[in-house]
Structure 1
Amino acid sequence: MSVPQTLSLPDNASLFTRLRVAHQCLQVLKDDPANPICGPLLNTCLDLNVYASLVQQFERSEEGRRLLSERPSLQGKALDLDALERLPEGTLGHGFARYFRDNKISPFETTFEIKNSIDFIGKRYRETHDLLHVLTGYATDVTGEMELQAYVLGNLGIRTAVLILLFGTFEHLKVRQSGVGLSEYLRRVRAAYHRGRASPRFLGFWFEHHWETPVATLRAQMCAPAERMN
């Protein structure tokens, strides 16, 4: 399904308008999950208050205000994956570049207009998704994706993650493609949620300044210990 030309979220949109636009976004994302317009727009529709709260928190610190002012980008056009992959093995940059190579995917790109700090936070959240896979160690299979959604729900309170978890769990029950039993699946998702709650908030971190830092160092600094699997 193509994106309707009129699909946008007005400033100070009502709850009804946000839900209507979110529904339109979902109809597009059902067939085009990587859509560069509907992905960030869906997040803004459902998480406008969450992003606004995060903006207020960032504005209370010098580092946060600088992030909102400079609006750094982790989009594909801002990344040199070849240069990052040449960094020593085990560093964040090397691991991030290899993540894209190994999974045969490209970095996030969007043409969504960034009009204010709330829009920027929504874009930043989308941009950090792949980095969080590297940082947390969660896989890119169905269960790993749901673990990451649970992690960001615990860490930031992102409502979009609730929607994805509901659909992901429904799909797990329907097809059981992951090879993970329901009780194990629920245990891992619950553990990821509590790990996210116990971890420092990641969204204000300048990943761009730490490409040469070992992943293990950043994981110890930014992520609560993962629950041991028996």
Structure 2
Amino acid sequence: MQANPAIDPKTLILPENASLFTRLRIATRILMVIKGNEGNPVYGQTINACLDYNVYASLIQRIQRSEDGRHLLSKRPSLEARDLDLAALERLPEGTLGHGFARYFRDNKISPFETTLELKNDLDYIAKRYRETHDLLHLVTGYGTDVIGEIELQAYALGNLGIRTAMLIVLYGTFQQIKDRQSGVVHSEYMKRIWAAYRRGRASPLFLDFWFEHHWESPVSKVSARLCAPNERMN
């Protein structure tokens, strides 16, 4: 995706010892140009530096507490496009995680995450893992890929992981909803859905250390029950 011509690329560079205001400003500008180019390693690392390095460091400490988590950090499994065989996954029985994941990309006419980011440490890996699990989370949480569904998923990730980038996206998306008033959803209902997603994320087990790759043949419903607290909107 080409950068927004109204935004000077030089303004997307994080200076040393930047203030919180500068970090928020740069992160917001990156969100305006990164859609469709989420794998861009420069944008990805910059937005992480702006908001989430200490968050990821804290998450790594949590992941290291379990044997599975330590194994994941050691082996660094990947869900990038080049490491997935979508054709093989789609041949799995209907209702399984692998089949649903492959059909998700076909139905939405999109491709799996790709990046040229060089993984220099666990922090780089966890930041990458978070981004490449995004599409799987749509599947297991049930949140849609429309605008509001995307914001719900970000609210869920905020509750589960405390990712500040997710918080910024929720705030930015909510501002756009209020500004545009074109979503067809009553404002109070929208806020209930976002708050419910956040609470659900808070109540759910950490998903970032889960080996999705070991569960392609498991029913989506089983994986969802293991990873996700009940959805308040469905009760």
Partner of residue 202 from structure 2, selected from 185, 197, 201: 197
Measured at CA, do residues 147 and 25 of structure 1 come closer, stay the same or move farther in structure 2, by a change above 3 Å? closer
- Structure 2 unaligned residues grouped into runs of 5+: none
Q: Identify the residue that residue 61 of structure 1 maps to in structure 2.
A: 66
Measured at CA, do residues 44 and 107 of structure 1 come closer, stay the same or move farther in structure 2, by a change above 3 Å? farther
Asked whether 1:152 is paired with 2:157, we answer: yes
Q: Identify the residue that residue 125 of structure 1 maps to in structure 2.
A: 130
Measured at CA, do residues 18 and 142 of structure 1 come closer, stay the same or move farther in structure 2, by a change above 3 Å? same
Aligned 1:73-222 pairs, distance under 5 A: 73-222=78-227
- Structure 1 unaligned residues grouped into runs of 5+: none
Partners of 1:25 and 1:39 within 8 A in 2: no
Give the AA of the match of 2:35.
Answer: P
Percentage of identical aligned residues: 64
Q: Identify the residue that residue 30 of structure 1 maps to in structure 2.
A: 32
Measured at CA, do residues 194 and 180 of structure 1 come closer, stay the same or move farther in structure 2, by a change above 3 Å? same
Give the AA of the match of 1:187.
Answer: K
Asked whether 1:46 is paired with 2:51, we answer: yes
- Tell me which moved more, 130-139 or 56-65: 56-65
Distance, in Å, in 1 between the alignment partners of 2:21 and 2:127 is: 17
C-alpha RMSD of the superposition:
2.5
Give the AA of the match of 2:111.
Answer: S
- Tell me which moved more, 174-183 or 204-213: 174-183
Distance, in Å, in 2 between the alignment partners of 1:68 and 1:18 is: 30
1:198, distance to aligned residue in structure 2 (A): 0.6
**TM-score normalized with structure 2 length:** 0.87
User: Across the two proteins, how many residue pairs are aligned to each other?
Assistant: 227
SS in 2 for 1:228: helix
